[in-house]
Amino acid sequence: MKSQIVTFLIKCPDQKGLVAKFTSFFYEEGFNIVSCQQYVNAAANRYYMRIRLDAADTTISKETLETKFEKIAKTLNCNWSAHYESEQQNVAIMVSHTSHCLYDLLERQREGDLDCNISLIISNHTKLKSIADMFDVPFYHLPITKETKKEQETQVIELLKKYQVDLIVMARYMQILSEEFINQYPERIINIHHSFLPAFQGANPYQRAYERGVKLIGATAHYATVDLDEGPIIEQDVERITHESTPKTLKRIGADVERLVLAKAVKSHLQHQIIVSDNRAIVFPETGE
Amino acid sequence: MKSQIVTFLIKCPDQKGLVAKFTSFFYEEGFNIVSCQQYVNAAANRYYMRIRLDAADTTISKETLETKFEKIAKTLNCNWSAHYESEQQNVAIMVSHTSHCLYDLLERQREGDLDCNISLIISNHTKLKSIADMFDVPFYHLPITKETKKEQETQVIELLKKYQVDLIVMARYMQILSEEFINQYPERIINIHHSFLPAFQGANPYQRAYERGVKLIGATAHYATVDLDEGPIIEQDVERITHESTPKTLKRIGADVERLVLAKAVKSHLQHQIIVSDNRAIVFPETGE
Amino acid sequence: MKSQIVTFLIKCPDQKGLVAKFTSFFYEEGFNIVSCQQYVNAAANRYYMRIRLDAADTTISKETLETKFEKIAKTLNCNWSAHYESEQQNVAIMVSHTSHCLYDLLERQREGDLDCNISLIISNHTKLKSIADMFDVPFYHLPITKETKKEQETQVIELLKKYQVDLIVMARYMQILSEEFINQYPERIINIHHSFLPAFQGANPYQRAYERGVKLIGATAHYATVDLDEGPIIEQDVERITHESTPKTLKRIGADVERLVLAKAVKSHLQHQIIVSDNRAIVFPETGE
Amino acid sequence: MKSQIVTFLIKCPDQKGLVAKFTSFFYEEGFNIVSCQQYVNAAANRYYMRIRLDAADTTISKETLETKFEKIAKTLNCNWSAHYESEQQNVAIMVSHTSHCLYDLLERQREGDLDCNISLIISNHTKLKSIADMFDVPFYHLPITKETKKEQETQVIELLKKYQVDLIVMARYMQILSEEFINQYPERIINIHHSFLPAFQGANPYQRAYERGVKLIGATAHYATVDLDEGPIIEQDVERITHESTPKTLKRIGADVERLVLAKAVKSHLQHQIIVSDNRAIVFPETGE
């Protein structure tokens, strides 16, 4: 394959000699191991690896590589995926009324901080179309009502297929996706929730945070699952507030936490730093280049 | 009264001219206003003030001051309290097995960072007696069982009365106080909960935090109320964790958050920085001396 | 004057009765005191107040108010300024190559989070013109060389005067302003420095942070003074890094700190929360609305 | 050797196949690899590894293991060290007047959070002897003057040798160690500096932080080198302050940062998480057990 970075994400039952076996395999195939990160969950006896390979010195084809690796994987009962730098991912952003996360993702992608295509923006409202226009990204307005929910989702899915979308980012999309929808994109839908989950699941977290009198507010980026706000948490952060903070100021302060948390989660996903296991997201830290 | 700092905590319905009226009163009585902090809850139309007075240049007696102030207070429908630097507060610490918060409070008091007497330590176990001995603080072992709960609490209350305790600090006391107990010490019992409330109320927060896969863990210091873990929040903080963190490491990392959060809350209480209203704690920031 | 919020910023020698005198004055003139914040620097015997007034119930004119207040101010040897909500401030943004702070300020202003006009953008390069166009803000390209520095600054100042600019934000403008320039805008030029000052003053802070092996990097927003990077600090924050962070990743991580720190500083200035004294910025916390 | 965890710290020039070679070696010797962390500094072409091995299933002796590993090490031009869980480290704490870091280290060790012996406490003052007594640790008072500095250090070194000290912690020891002293304990002396280095190197950092008007203060734990306050940084953290904070309050707020930063640095050292290279400390994150 052409010279590039290949990332393998591997999970399997823990057993002796795994690092040695995996690293020897890639070494013998002529790869240079750029970084090798592992996590052993001793309690669950599970093993996880993220390994990044430089293909500069090997002529092996993608197919051969995967076929050969699958042989080992089978014997070790591995679950794995391989990701090729040369295959850029397509992202769809879904929004409703709130603009800060949308701006943030569009900017980062435009400035080269997010290595992906932002293929389209889908909204159940027209309010944010002007922002899509500013950044020259196709904007689709698909309104939704109780009655039309099913068919709206069908339209959304058609668009996702048409644009061959790899990742869906719910950047403050204020609709609950149906089980059918979510099951079509396992670990490929990232949602930002405007609270420090599991605190304030559900609606109006800032109002409830104000009423509870918390001293910090937060945001949580997680993979969407059929259990609302209970998917694997990718990233969280908080900001200090005071008794002077009104629900309105909480919303403004929280917006800055949301945008950063969502951007970090999306970046971690795009860089293949995440392995999900037992509803927990193992997020390997970014390694220096 | 002797030269000292007097702190008034005031709450009343908001209305025009409050600052002017209060500050003029103290000014005319010969006090120098060291600091004057206020908070207006516009939505609830409530007004709150913390004012610190230097009594150096006045000869007014405590009684006259309070009688005169009560006259104004009545007309403005105020709820208020006055606190005199010369009257040092007595603190009781209640513990079970965990030592870090106990060490922390004893050290800070010994080093002069907490302006109070630590009059006694009460525990339902003997494990931490050696620490009480190290710091020469009376230690009372009052074991508790379902059957003896009522009478144990009676013994505790007798001790609190005997030592004229002003503030009770539950420094990881793993028992739920009865409604009767709590009602005798409104806003005078501070508890540390080892989670970022309202997340993980109740038992085993660290285990549940691990299972949920949160990326930050926290601690919350709050006034104890009859609704468990739902009292007014005084202070909270969090610490970052990773997928590598086990329940055991969470416990250790959390311990440092707990001790700091509890110490800050106790200090704020001792310095009369807190006014509680609608189950929210208004914590005025410390002012420089 | 029309119904609005008026903010007074006051500094003077400390003396008894100041709060009472000031608040009584405004109360008697029919203002409702929305918030009253003070700071006493006991060591320096200086007093500082920020007081926000609701003019809804008074018919007093701006002129009369200021004339009357000046009478008191004189007797107390006060230095003061009054700011009227109805008078929106004009902001100029100066940039070079780096886009993240520019995007951030333009977005916040467009979304109503920064109460000001962004009148123009000035750059010594053309690179960021497309962003100015996206947000429909006039963009002026004024290149600069050692030889043309003086005349370029003259052109800049002409533009600032033409647009009646109240605040200049150096959003990663990689030029040092001359003493003449700075002296024309005391406490009205905010600069963002990409380090945690006073660490890494001057050029290439991220490269130097990497070489020094610090574990946190930061950003500092300060008023520009003739002593480079030594002006009064308005806001600072930091982000954790690791040994894996390269100078390139530091730059990216730091960018998020810079944008937030600069936005907070600009907001504090626009809301008249800042009083400068002895090269220190007293930043009164935002009060709830 | 007896069943235990063995930790290897390895640094060498980067080259293809390193992970494979090292992990295969340990695997073939019958070790189970508990964790394997690496860092590649691409710019410097340097490779670093921390690998933790479970010796439960091997009967190899320490000597054989090290002799065999040295063979590989030579061929790869490695610099390495091996650390055995069964060999507990001896720590000396050096202090002057300030107690908070001393309390903190003694407590953590007493409670089992720091896996080491605290063999002795050395001070140039008697003030903290009572704390040493509380924790039953030998306390040596070795006063120092310009004239006696050389001989005092000789006495200190005799004590360090007598107690076979592995690590020296300067827990606010307000003396500068001589070059001779420091060179005897390379990367084995940890100092806590009460500022966010490189800001405020040298004396009175809090006073200078106050005068500069910074909005955050910090602390830095680093290995002592002959260049004062310029040794490899192990850990840093900061705390937010305000204009209300006086030098006295900075000192108190900073104390909590100092104690946590120092404790983390000492723990990282004791757990063999640190490799120093080019005056930068590579601190591998703690792995879950």
Q: What is the pLDDT of residue A120?
A: 98
Question: What is the DSSP code string of A209-270?
Answer: HHHHT-SEEEEEEEE--SSTT-SPEEEEEEEE--TT--HHHHHHHHHHHHHHHHHHHHHHHH
Answer yes or no: do D16 and A38 touch at CB < 8 A.
Answer: no
Q: How many residues does chain A have?
A: 289
Instruction: Check pLDDT > 80 for residue B289.
Output: no
- pLDDT class of B165 with cuts at 50, 70, 90: very high
Question: What is the DSSP code string of A180-216?
Answer: HHHHHSTT-EEEEESS-TTTT-SS-HHHHHHHHT-SE
The four Cα atoms A254, A259, A260, A266 give a dihedral, to 10 degrees, of 140
Answer yes or no: do A289 and C242 touch at CB < 8 A.
Answer: no
Span C254-277, pLDDT tens digits: 999 999 999 999 999 999 999 999
B275 and A237 in contact (C-beta within 8 Å)? no
Nearest CA in chain A to D15: A32
Report, as an integer, the average pLDDT of C54-67: 95
Please state the separation of Cα B90 from the chain's center in Å. 12
Q: What is the pLDDT of residue A17?
A: 92
Q: ipTM score of the complex?
A: 0.95
Which tokens in the block code for residue A123? 């909204």
Instruction: Check pLDDT > 90 for residue C18.
Output: yes
D178 min Cα distance to partner chain A (Å): 37
Q: What is the pLDDT of residue B3?
A: 84
Instruction: Check pLDDT > 90 for residue B162.
Output: yes
Span A169-201, pLDDT tens digits: 999 999 999 999 999 999 999 999 999 999 999
Average pLDDT, chain A: 96
**Other beta carbons less than 10 A from residue C91's beta carbon:** 24
D283 and B244 in contact (C-beta within 8 Å)? no
**Domains by residue range for chain B, with CATH:** 5-84 (3.30.70.260), 90-283 (3.40.50.170)
Does an H or E element contain C130, and which?
helix C129-134
| Cross-chain CB nearest to B33 (options C19, C34, C240) | C19
- pLDDT class of A284 with cuts at 50, 70, 90: very high
Active site residue: A229, A237, A256, A278, which one? A229
Q: What is the pLDDT of residue D289?
A: 64
C-alpha atoms less than 13 angstroms from C-alpha of C30 in its C-beta half-sphere: 11
Quote the radius of gyration of chain D (alpha carbons, Å).
21
Q: How far apart are CA B168 and CA D239, in angstroms?
A: 28
Span D99-152, pLDDT tens digits: 999 999 999 999 999 999 999 999 999 999 999 999 999 999 999 999 999 999
Span D144-202, pLDDT tens digits: 999 999 999 999 999 999 999 999 999 999 999 999 999 999 999 999 999 999 999 99
Average pLDDT, chain B: 96
Judge whether D14 counts as a catalytic residue: no
B242 min Cα distance to partner chain C (Å): 14
Answer yes or no: do A36 and D38 touch at CB < 8 A.
Answer: yes
Q: Which residues of B touch A198 (CB under 8 A)?
A: 199-200, 212, 214
Instruction: Check pLDDT > 90 for residue C47.
Output: yes
Answer yes or no: do D197 and C199 touch at CB < 8 A.
Answer: yes
Q: How far apart are CA B185 and CA A179, in angstroms?
A: 50
Report, as an integer, the average pLDDT of D7-34: 95
Instruction: Check pLDDT > 80 for residue D1.
Output: no
C14 and C36 in contact (C-beta within 8 Å)? no
Q: What is the pLDDT of residue B215?
A: 97
Q: Which residues of B touch C287 (CB under 8 A)?
A: 39-40
Q: How far apart are CA D197 and CA D220, in angstroms?
A: 6
Q: Which of D7, D21, D131 is CA-nearest to residue D75? A: D21
3-state secondary structure of B175: coil
- Angle among Cα A7, A13, A14 to the nearest 5 degrees reads 90
β-bridge pairing A46-54 and A79-84: unpaired
Phi, psi of A201 (to 5 degrees): -60, 160
| Cross-chain CB nearest to D289 (options B134, B246, B286) | B246
Q: What is the pLDDT of residue D241?
A: 97
> Which of B21, B26, B33, B242 should one mutate to test binding to chain C, selecting the residue with the greatest count of C CBs within 10 A?
B33
Widest CA span of chain C, in angstroms? 63
The four Cα atoms A143, A145, A150, A152 give a dihedral, to 10 degrees, of 0
Does an H or E element contain C105, and which?
helix C100-110
Q: What is the pLDDT of residue A255?
A: 97
Span C106-150, pLDDT tens digits: 999 999 999 999 999 999 999 999 999 999 999 999 999 999 999
Span A265-279, pLDDT tens digits: 999 999 999 999 999
| Cross-chain CB nearest to B23 (options C20, C57, C287) | C20
- pLDDT class of D237 with cuts at 50, 70, 90: very high
> Which chains does chain A touch, 3 or more C-beta pairs < 8 A?
B, C, D
Q: How far apart are CA B99 and CA B172, in angstroms?
A: 8
Q: Work out the angle between the directed axes of helices D100-110 and D247-270 (0-180°, nearest 10).
A: 30
Q: Which residues of D touch B134 (CB under 8 A)?
A: 134-135
> Which of D233, D243, D279, D286 should one mutate to test binding to chain C, selecting the residue with the greatest count of C CBs within 10 A?
D243
Q: What is the pLDDT of residue B253?
A: 96
Q: How far apart are CA C13 and CA A140, in angstroms?
A: 62
Nearest CA in chain B to C286: B39
Instruction: Check pLDDT > 90 for residue C3.
Output: no
- Angle among Cα C259, C260, C261 to the nearest 5 degrees reads 95
- pLDDT class of A289 with cuts at 50, 70, 90: low
- pLDDT class of A288 with cuts at 50, 70, 90: confident
> Which chains does chain C touch, 3 or more C-beta pairs < 8 A?
A, B, D
Q: How far apart are CA C270 and CA C284, in angstroms?
A: 12
Residue found by looking up tokens 């108010």 in the block? C65
Nearest CA in chain A to D24: A20
Positive or negative, the CA dihedral A21, A22, A24, A28 is positive
Nearest CA in chain A to D37: A37
| Cross-chain CB nearest to C199 (options D39, D199, D246) | D199
Q: How far apart are CA D278 and CA D276, in angstroms?
A: 7
Answer yes or no: do B214 and A235 touch at CB < 8 A.
Answer: no
3-state secondary structure of A86: coil
| Cross-chain CB nearest to A199 (options B198, B234, B281) | B198
Does an H or E element contain B101, and which?
helix B100-110
